[in-house]
């Protein structure tokens, strides 16, 4: 919860700081966001495998501590270039710990949905308080404190005997085993990130103040907190499918808003979409692999690749086609994603669900 709060809060107003503080255009904003996600991708891939080979404890603690330090440095940015460099550093550090933490939870026989729900709750608190604080350096210091608190808690966590796995640097078999969910979620998430990279600007142009932007994000997160605690009972296959369906319904609905408050129903709908899709995807890879850190790391890497491409395309699309153009393209990509998931899943012989409702 604390690590999620720190990461979400630190990212909320980055587009606004770049545009309003450093006079950056949406193309530059997209590039900065894509650079962060590129570093997150590389780190998630490497350290997810590292946690399987060398254990969870060290990489989890080191990742949280280094992320806290990198967020602290954000408070001292004074230009687009300095912000870009430190965001790349944040991505490298923030990619270290999520796979190790998720694998630790699963191996401790905890429910993935409940764990994800508390991550969503942290996301809600993070964006809400970032919107309330509103002063950029204050937001970054607050977020660094959240990550340091998460690190402090790991010093008291029991890890027990950790199972090590031999995992090749390029885990071809793991990628092939989880290919349906990796490739399909990439398409959906490219579209989602086309929206998210310009979403705070979209809300601001609808008349939302900083505190209301944070509140709108928080509604999404708190709805996820509720939904994620109930979706664990469903099979991974059904959750992924429903996540795509809710996404296809929600993305074009953003274009209907003419005032900021009208976004609220869509925030609840997209919360249902991500609750199903994320928990379903995590269950899908955890059920099929002993190398859980690597599998989770590759899932995070798939999301990061999507965020890189989506941020770049989203910035350019918003610049050339406007906000609504990016939202319609996102809808098409989510539709392609669900088609790919259905057919690749069946093609690879996974037609039987692991768990039934």
Q: Flag whether pLDDT at 351 surpasses 50.
A: no
- The enclosing domain of 293 has a CATH number of 1.20.1250.20
Task: Write down the pLDDT at residue 50.
Answer: 67
Domains contained in the chain, number: 1
Which candidate, 266, 260, 265, 257, places its Cα nearest to that of 213? 260
Has residue 17 been placed in a domain? Answer: yes
Residue 165 in any domain: the answer is: no
pLDDT tens, position by position, 72-113: 999 999 899 999 999 999 999 998 888 788 777 777 766 777
Q: Which residues have C-beta within 8 Å of that of residue 198, sequence separation ≥ 6?
A: 15, 26, 29, 314, 315, 318, 323, 326
User: Contact, 129 vs 142, CB < 8 A?
Assistant: yes
Query: Nearest-CA neighbor of 273 among 296, 250, 301, 302?
Result: 250
Rounded Cα distance between 351 and 212, Å, is 44
| Structure tokens that stand for 225 in this block | 């907190």
Average pLDDT value for residue range 158-174: 67
pLDDT, tens digit, for every residue of 265-284?
A: 999 999 999 999 988 888 88
Residue 71 within a domain:
yes
Q: From CA 151, how far away is CA 62, in angstroms rounded?
A: 8
- pLDDT for the residue numbered 166: 60
Average of per-residue pLDDT across 115-125: 84
Residue 161 within any structural domain of the chain: no
194 or 233, higher pLDDT: 194
Residue 154 has pLDDT above 60, yes or no: yes
Provide the domain limits for residue 286. 2-154+171-347
> How would residue 169 be classed by pLDDT, with cut points 50, 70 and 90?
low
- The mean of the pLDDT values for the chain is 84
Label residue 292 by pLDDT band (50, 70, 90): low
Q: How confident is the model at residue 356 (pLDDT cuts 50, 70, 90)?
A: very low
Question: Among 215, 104, 233, which Cα is nearest to 162's?
Answer: 104
Binned at pLDDT 50, 70 and 90, residue 332 comes out as very high
Query: What's the pLDDT score for residue 326?
Result: 86
User: What is the pLDDT averaged over residues 35-62?
Assistant: 80
Stretch 309-333: mean pLDDT: 84
Query: Does 341 map to a domain?
Result: yes
Mean local confidence (pLDDT), 115-136: 83
pLDDT recorded at residue 353:
43
> Which percentage of the chain shows pLDDT scores above 90?
27
Place 352 in a pLDDT band, splitting at 50, 70 and 90: very low
Q: Which residue has the higher pLDDT, 302 or 254?
A: 254
| Buried/exposed code over 334-353 (b: 16+ C-beta within 10 A; e: otherwise) | bbbbbebbbebbeeeebeee
Q: In this structure, is residue 163 part of a structural domain?
A: no
pLDDT band at 28 (very low <50, low <70, confident <90, very high): confident
- Asked, for residue 159, whether it belongs to a domain, the answer is no
The model carries a pTM of 0.72
């Amino acid at each position: 919860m604390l690590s999620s709060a720190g990461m979400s809060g630190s990212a909320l107003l980055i587009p606004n700081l770049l545009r309003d503080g450093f006079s950056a255009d949406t193309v530059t904003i997209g590039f900065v966001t894509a650079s962060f996600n590129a570093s997150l991708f590389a780190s998630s891939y490497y350290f997810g495998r590292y946690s399987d080979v060398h254990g969870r404890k060290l990489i989890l603690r080191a990742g949280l501590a280094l992320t806290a330090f990198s967020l602290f440095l954000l408070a001292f940015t004074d230009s687009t270039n300095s912000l870009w460099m430190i965001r790349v550093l944040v991505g490298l550090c923030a990619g270290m710990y999520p796979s190790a933490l998720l694998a630790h939870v699963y191996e401790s026989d905890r429910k993935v949905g409940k764990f994800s729900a508390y991550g969503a709750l942290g996301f809600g608190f993070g964006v809400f308080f970032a919107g309330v604080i509103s002063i950029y350096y204050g937001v970054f210091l607050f977020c660094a404190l959240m990550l340091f608190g998460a690190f402090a808690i790991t010093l008291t966590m029991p890890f027990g005997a950790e199972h090590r796995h031999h995992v090749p640097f390029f885990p071809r078999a793991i990628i092939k085993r989880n290919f349906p969910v990796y490739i399909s979620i990439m398409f959906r998430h490219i579209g989602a990130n086309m929206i998210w990279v310009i979403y705070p600007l979209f809300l601001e142009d609808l008349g939302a103040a900083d505190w209301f932007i944070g509140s709108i994000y928080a509604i999404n997160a708190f709805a996820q907190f509720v939904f994620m605690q109930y979706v664990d009972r469903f099979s991974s296959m059904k959750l992924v499918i429903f996540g795509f369906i809710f996404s296809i319904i929600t993305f074009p609905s953003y274009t209907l808003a003419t005032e900021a408050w009208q976004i609220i129903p869509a925030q609840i709908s997209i919360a249902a979409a991500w609750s199903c899709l994320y928990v379903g995807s995590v269950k899908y890879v955890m059920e099929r692999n002993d190398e859980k850190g690597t599998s989770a790391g590759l899932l995070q890497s798939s999301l990061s690749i999507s965020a890189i491409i989506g941020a770049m395309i989203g910035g350019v699309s918003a610049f050339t086609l406007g906000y609504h153009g990016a939202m319609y393209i996102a809808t098409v990509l989510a539709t392609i994603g669900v088609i790919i998931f259905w057919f690749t899943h069946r093609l690879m012989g996974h037609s039987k669900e692991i768990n039934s409702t």
